[in-house]
A = this chain, B = another copy of it.
Amino acid sequence: MSKTRTKPYHHGDLKAALVDGAVELIVARGVRHFSLAELSRRLGVTVAAPYRHFANRDELLAAVAVRALQAFGEALAAQSTETDPPGERLAAMAGGYVRFAAEQADLFGVLFGLGLDKKKRHPELREAYEDVEGTMAACVAELCPGDPDGAEQLTDAVEATAHGYAALLTDQPGPLDPADVDRAVEQAASATRALIDGRAAFRRSR
Contact = CB atoms under 8 A, between A and B. Distances in A.
Interface of A: 32, 112-113, 115, 117-120, 153, 156-157, 159-168, 171-174, 186-191, 193-202, 204-205
Contacts of A163: 164, 167-168
B195 A32 contact: no
A163 B194 CA distance: 17
Contacts of A167: 112-113, 163-164, 167
Q: Could you say which of A153, A189, A191, A204 has the most chain B C-beta atoms within 10 Å of its C-beta?
A: A191
Contact of A172 (B117, B153, B198): B117
9 nearest CB pairs, A to B: A164-B164, A197-B198, A198-B198, A160-B164, A194-B198, A193-B201, A163-B164, A194-B201, A113-B113
Copies of this chain, count: 2
A98 to B, nearest CB: 9
A198 B115 CA distance: 34
29 contacts: A112-B113, A112-B167, A112-B171, A113-B167, A115-B173, A117-B172, A120-B174, A153-B187, A153-B190, A156-B187, A157-B161, A157-B187, A160-B161, A160-B168, A160-B187, A161-B164, A161-B191, A162-B164, A163-B167, A187-B202, A190-B201, A190-B204, A190-B205, A191-B195, A193-B201, A194-B194, A194-B197, A194-B199, A195-B198
A44 to B, nearest CB: 30
A174 B117 contact: yes
A168 B130 CA distance: 13
A198 B202 CA distance: 12
Given A113-B171, A117-B173, A157 B194 contact: yes
Given A164-B162, A164-B165, A172 B202 contact: no
Contacts of A161: 157, 160-161, 164, 191
A56 B194 CA distance: 44
